[in-house]
Structure 1
Amino acid sequence: MAHHGEQHYNLEQRFDFTAATKKSIMTVLVIGAVILGLGIVLAMTGGGHDEVGEAGGHAFHWYERLYANLWINNVYFTGIAIVGVFFFAIQYAAQAGWSTPLLRVMLSFGYWLPFAGILMLATFFLANHDLFHWTHSYLFDKNDPQYDSIIDGKGAFFFWPMAKGTFPIFFIVRMVLFFGLWVFFFKKFQQISDQEDQLGGNSYWIKMRSWSAFFLIFFAVSSSISAWDWVMSIDTHWFSTLFGWYVFSSWFVAGLCAITLLTIFLKGKGYLEMVNQNHIHDMGKFIFGFSIFWTYLWFSQFLLIYYANIPEESVYFIERLTSDVYGPFIFVNIGLNFFLPFLVLMTRDAKRHGVFLKLVCSILLVGHWIDFFLMVQPGTLGHNGGIGLMEVGMFLVYGSAVALVVLGGLAKKNLIAKNHPMLEESYHHHI
């Protein structure tokens, strides 16, 4: 056994997913489902002005809001899941030693990926016309009065090699390929981890490093293209060249917050004794740094579009800023995702104490959900959107489902990479 001074750590520990913990999460899920149900009933009975609204020239229906919510949460929680795997791979590529006891915590988020893929495909087939304007075939018909030359020009990106306006096979193939390969790499990382646990030695660490490098290259490409496919194509006329980075940064901060909350939760339950304040501090620094990175990208995108003032670019911000529904949320978005982590996490102490990080991470998880809400709803629902019972309910249902899947997966394997060659280094991690 490796020991640090006279301390002996239990390296064989497994997370025990107790009935009490399951019950708490299920309670949140049920509350979320009830709120969601109420939201749907209110929307169906025209709670307010829903039925009267016009979205894109047609009468607005309650289920369009439901679909938009499914899409926001699919994209958001997919991001958190893949970031767990991404952050795991980064540790190997960077030959990092400090993070060794947290590796399994990061990787466990990958358990959501197969569910995310199925939900994403199902939602697309259920809701494609209500979410994505480019799925309408008349846009590609030169004789149709609604023919759209801009969307026609982008048609091949969705429909190749089939005729534009038929079945978006290229789009679907990309979606299946990304999820398929993400799950493949997740399983591969797990397999090598299991072998290392059983057999030890440095060879598995070396093997994991090369697999991580392949994954990171694939992730760089797939995370950008999926951002264009799943989010940017909603506003089909508009495009931003740094959008892939922007979505990644939002995913990354949310993923880091989820990893940090899970680590603090496990420590509170008496697991991961070798994780000390220095490890927590490092996670706090990542969250602090990447919140600023997210802000930098948000501001870069905004500023370039603002001072170039080209109508087809500025429409994206104008329809959000001038909207009664979304305008206020732009400021909420920047307040929660930049000012709050910047001011709260600036001091060393705030990054070392669980109570601060719990608060900031929880707020940031909501904040970055709002970021995705602002990316998806204006283009799908127009002024019929907003944050109401349906949004809150769906977020709670998805969040608790992800928690059940991730914690259930975490309980299946050892919590600590006990034969990792850098475990000893991590014991002495001090900053």
Structure 2
Amino acid sequence: MAHDVQNYNLDQKFDFSASIKKSVLTVLGIGAAILVLGIILAMTGGGHHEEGAEAAGHAFHWYERLFANLWINNVYFTGIAIIGVFFFAIQYAAQAGWSAPITRIMLSLGNWLPIAGILMIVTFFVANHDLFHWTHSYLFDKASPEYDSIIDGKGAFFYWPMEKGTFPVFYIARMVIFFGFWVFFFNKFKQIAANEDQLGGNTHWFKMRSWSAYFLVFFAVSSSISAWDWVMSIDTHWFSTLFGWYVFASWFVAGLSTITLLTIFLKGKGYLEMVNENHIHDMGKFVFGFSIFWTYLWFSQFLLIYYANIPEETVYFVERLSSDIYGGFIFVNIIMNFVLPFLVLMTRDAKRHGIFLKVVCSLLIVGHWVDFFLMVQPGTLGHNGGIGLMEVGMLLVYGASFAFVVLSSLAKGNLVPKNHPMMEESYHHHI
């Protein structure tokens, strides 16, 4: 069977053609137009006092909604990017052979990370008071009528070693360290992969395996803490002990869906001929399995809070379920991220056919964006949120920019790790 290997073009590069570029940039342009229209409508209708804004003691401004949208998309697309690197590292740490031809696709998602890091840090400095209640200094002043003992108790987690209510050194340091290390590991993987392509041999595979193990340990800690920092701290009074897992699961399903869509897209364009329906089936199983895992975590978090019925825990769900704006989206979230993928991908055939996977993966990418929308907006905007032109436009702008960065990076290097020691095993992968 060894002659199989010669039948494949292992030096293939993705051609990011003018027509594909045009499609991506068209989506970007449409998204930008919708976003601008949404902002104009919000500016002309915004600035008025509303029920949700009164509680916060200020008039609601259009830019607060813009900031909330920036934050949702920053966190969401950062997650998809880091999951690409994470899933790549898993393949090496687990010595997986089946996935050899598609590892470069996983790694390509990480090209968004440097951009994501800059966007996150800039957005935080511009929008912190509008997004995070804990950034207001009066909450930590015992003489102030606004003093909040619960937030004061958590203050050191954000501000150490500075005085609470001044500059959140510890918080910013964590953000910089996480992005710094994620980008460092991503570049390390890219460098080892490039060397493997040029030099061959097994040493690079062993090296990648060691670096993957270091990365996975760092990722385990950083992904959880970033979920607390970037999402859970919006609702400062509330906390959930499995929130880090929950955000990871949402990111993971979105990341797997992106990798699967990219693989099917490239196969449709005539690349990756060594990837057969067995490989696609494996990706389908991952998407299917982890959408159930996400649901399990959603339900665990909800059920424990529901039956314990402790006010400081239930506030999170009460705020969302009893809201005219967000109540319906809780059900949209569950239907898009669990019910439909579960029913569509249940059979073996569905996991092997591109058309089913395209539909489900596209649905899941939008569905998990809705999940992050539900995590961020109620705590930042109260009754002034919802999904409108601004939300749709911003999602399209981020999605198209992300696609452009990933496809550009795929066009630059080898699409297939031609000297991967398990390539031969992958050709004969059958399930």
What TM-score does the superposition give when structure 1 sets the normalisation length?
0.98
Task: Say whether the 8 Å CA contact 2:74–2:120 is kept in structure 1.
Answer: yes
Aligned counterpart, 2:68: 68
Task: Say whether the 8 Å CA contact 2:84–2:255 is kept in structure 1.
Answer: yes
1:313 to partner: Cα distance: 0.3
Aligned counterpart, 2:416: 416
Aligned counterpart, 1:141: 141
Aligned counterpart, 1:59: 59
Distance, in Å, in 1 between the alignment partners of 2:260 and 2:168 is: 38
Task: Say whether the 8 Å CA contact 1:2–1:8 is kept in structure 2.
Answer: no
Distance, in Å, in 2 between the alignment partners of 1:288 and 1:58 is: 45
Question: What letter corresponds to residue 348 of structure 2 in structure 1?
Answer: R
Task: Say whether the 8 Å CA contact 1:3–1:9 is kept in structure 2.
Answer: no
Number of residue pairs aligned between Structure 1 and Structure 2: 428
1:3 to partner: Cα distance: 3.5
Distance, in Å, in 2 between the alignment partners of 1:277 and 1:342 is: 20
Distance, in Å, in 1 between the alignment partners of 2:21 and 2:109 is: 17
Distance, in Å, in 1 between the alignment partners of 2:195 and 2:262 is: 25
Task: Say whether the 8 Å CA contact 2:49–2:58 is kept in structure 1.
Answer: no
Aligned counterpart, 1:45: 44
Q: Deviations over 1:393-422 (max 9, x none)?
A: 000000000000011111111001000000
Instruction: Give the 5 Å matches for 1:397-416.
Output: 397-416=397-416
1:78 to partner: Cα distance: 0.2
Aligned counterpart, 1:267: 267
Distance, in Å, in 2 between the alignment partners of 1:254 and 1:121 is: 23
Instruction: Give the 5 Å matches for 1:55-134.
Output: 55=53, 56-134=56-134
Aligned counterpart, 1:36: 35
Question: What letter corresponds to residue 11 of structure 1 in structure 2?
Answer: L
Q: Secondary structure at the match of 1:208?
A: helix
Task: Say whether the 8 Å CA contact 1:4–1:428 is kept in structure 2.
Answer: no
Question: What letter corresponds to residue 176 of structure 1 in structure 2?
Answer: V
1:274 to partner: Cα distance: 0.2
Aligned counterpart, 1:20: 19
Root mean square deviation of aligned Cα? 1.1
1:58 to partner: Cα distance: 1.2
Aligned counterpart, 1:317: 317
Instruction: Give the 5 Å matches for 1:1-400.
Output: 3-4=3-4, 8-46=7-45, 51-53=48-50, 54-55=52-53, 56-400=56-400
Question: What letter corresponds to residue 49 of structure 2 in structure 1?
Answer: V
Q: Deviations over 1:366-418 (max 9, x none)?
A: 00000000000000000100000000000000000000001111111100100
Q: Secondary structure at the match of 1:3?
A: helix
Q: Secondary structure at the match of 2:48?
A: helix
Task: Say whether the 8 Å CA contact 1:44–1:62 is kept in structure 2.
Answer: yes
1:52 to partner: Cα distance: 2.8
1:425 and 2:425 correspond: yes
1:286 to partner: Cα distance: 0.1
1:51 to partner: Cα distance: 2.2
Distance, in Å, in 1 between the alignment partners of 2:292 and 2:356 is: 18
Question: What letter corresponds to residue 43 of structure 1 in structure 2?
Answer: A
Distance, in Å, in 1 between the alignment partners of 2:198 and 2:30 is: 42
Distance, in Å, in 1 between the alignment partners of 2:307 and 2:334 is: 20
Q: Deviations over 1:68-107 (max 9, x none)?
A: 0000000000000000000000000110000000000000
Instruction: Return closer, same or farther for 1:17/1:2 CA change in 2, 3 Å cut-off.
Output: farther
Distance, in Å, in 2 between the alignment partners of 1:405 and 1:230 is: 23
Gaps of 5+ in 2: none
Q: Secondary structure at the match of 1:157?
A: helix
Q: Secondary structure at the match of 2:303?
A: helix
Q: Deviations over 1:135-180 (max 9, x none)?
A: 0000000000000000000000000000000000100000000000
Distance, in Å, in 2 between the alignment partners of 1:194 and 1:346 is: 38
Gaps of 5+ in 1: none
Distance, in Å, in 1 between the alignment partners of 2:430 and 2:203 is: 27
Question: What letter corresponds to residue 366 of structure 2 in structure 1?
Answer: V
Task: Say whether the 8 Å CA contact 2:305–2:314 is kept in structure 1.
Answer: yes
Distance, in Å, in 2 between the alignment partners of 1:4 and 1:156 is: 61
Identity rate, percent: 81
Task: Say whether the 8 Å CA contact 1:151–1:236 is kept in structure 2.
Answer: yes
